[in-house]
A and B are shown apart, each in its own frame.
Chain A
């Protein structure tokens, strides 16, 4: 709890800047309205107006807070207006994509470590795959998969996988190669098979690297799922809420979806961190 005061200070600072920025950005519209209706704005009424507009340029924190409260606690979870419903849609794609990406990443890493041809040929492609902007690629993946009859959860998960396999490959190649020459020689003196060396030495040695990669992969996976929801016609999910919000100028809705996505990312990454701590502690590596 030693970090409580510094964290609180930073949060207070952010809120202060946020409220001031809301006044500054929303003031022109407030003046506009006042001029048309012939009112004169005092500082007090100006501030009150900039913090309570329907479609502000920058909604004030309490407006976003109320919106989140209304769309989570006060809405039925099955409702299309429930943020929890949309979060679940995004979360399911994130988790599926994360699982697929982790699986693909580990499989490629094993291939690269054990197969010389793959070692020489795969890595450049893996790196090249990440230089293509995902925003350009996502609609094509959705369209192509839709053309072969795959729609719904899987195409979004594929985009998540596309982003999340990369840190896993890079981390796991490093991790599986982390045993030193002495440890590998030792296995050789016992005449251990490649499979025994893998399960008993290489895989346990790679765990710290794996978990570091998984944290990055989890965050990337969520970004992938949100991006994947943009070209699907804004049906459901946090990405759809962002898109629909921007169509209709619902800035409060956009911000509440953004904050929800951030909270989701924080929760998921902390969960990986927690599993990491428990696992590495039990393995005597923390």
Chain B
């Protein structure tokens, strides 16, 4: 049990709103092993983002346990155990790309030389070398999102939590970034938790796909992907891929039939 990087056990979360309580997560149990690429997929309101935010200590469960690297999310956050990539790049317009990536490093008190070395390394990792001195508005949306991934990688957290990072980008850019992300995941051996509502994206990227459904937010299916680790983009036309995608779709439909 202790080998799992993310471990949730009968997690419950109820938001108290003006319209009465909202059951965002109900009885969610999941174990994620080191080096896994886990996707969370489901319709709006299924709690996939809430679950990710629980891992990041941005939301507090009202029941059950969750541990990150064997400790409570709050301790994991304070130990800077994870990098979080939001839906929007959220780069500061008054800082250069380099300056934006340096921001968490400054906050965490890395030395000047170390900062420079890390910025150069992660920029190379997301293929943005040479853009260090550019300002965010000089970059395309896809490049900005890559810079925000570089920022989350800069301080060497073992876990990368990504909340629909490519949701606002067009299909072509998204394909390219998916390919790059897989490449990056293989090189860095990080554990990645990835929220999406695109079935092809989830199947293409993941070693484990978690299908969720709403009201109350819960896990309906966990699929261990049979696809090999080496995945060219055209793997999406193979029967194995389509079979996994079909199972995900079935899972999503089953969740809706309960309504």
Binding site for B on A (CB under 8 A): 182-183, 185-192, 196, 200-201, 204, 283-285
Of the four ranges (under 10, 10 to 19, 20 to 34, 35 or more), the interface on chain B belongs to: 20 to 34
* Given A182-B86, A185-B86, A189-B58, also A284-B107 (CB < 8 A): no
Judging by beta carbons under 8 Å apart, are B90 and A186 in contact?
yes
Which chain A residues border B6 with CB–CB below 8 Å? none
- Nearest-neighbor residue (CB-CB) of B106 within chain A: A200
Contact call A191/B77, Cβ cutoff below 8 A = yes
Residues of B within 8 A of A (CB): 56-58, 77-78, 80, 82-84, 86-88, 90, 92-94, 103-104, 106-108, 135-137, 155
The answer, among B58, B90, B108, for a CB contact under 8 Å with A190, is B108
B94 touches A204 (CB 8 A): yes
Q: DSSP class of A's interface residues: helix, strand, loop or mixed?
A: helix
Report 28 cross-chain contacts, Cβ distance below 8 Å, ordered by A residue.
Answer: A182-B86, A182-B88, A182-B90, A185-B58, A185-B86, A186-B86, A186-B90, A188-B57, A188-B77, A189-B56, A189-B77, A189-B84, A190-B80, A190-B108, A190-B155, A191-B77, A191-B80, A191-B108, A192-B107, A196-B107, A200-B106, A200-B107, A204-B94, A283-B93, A284-B94, A284-B135, A285-B93, A285-B94
Chain B residue numbers with a CB within 8 Å of A188 are 57-58, 77
Name the residue of chain B whose CB is nearest to the CB of A184: B58
Docked-complex contact B90 and A191, CB < 8 angstroms = no
CA separation between A187 and B56, bound complex, in Å? Answer: 12
Nearest CB on B from A260, distance (A): 38
Closest chain B residue, CB of each to CB of A183: B90
A188 to B104 alpha-carbon distance, docked (Å): 11
CB nearest to B136 among chain A residues: A284
**Considering only CB atoms, which chain A residue lies closest to B87 in the complex?**
A182
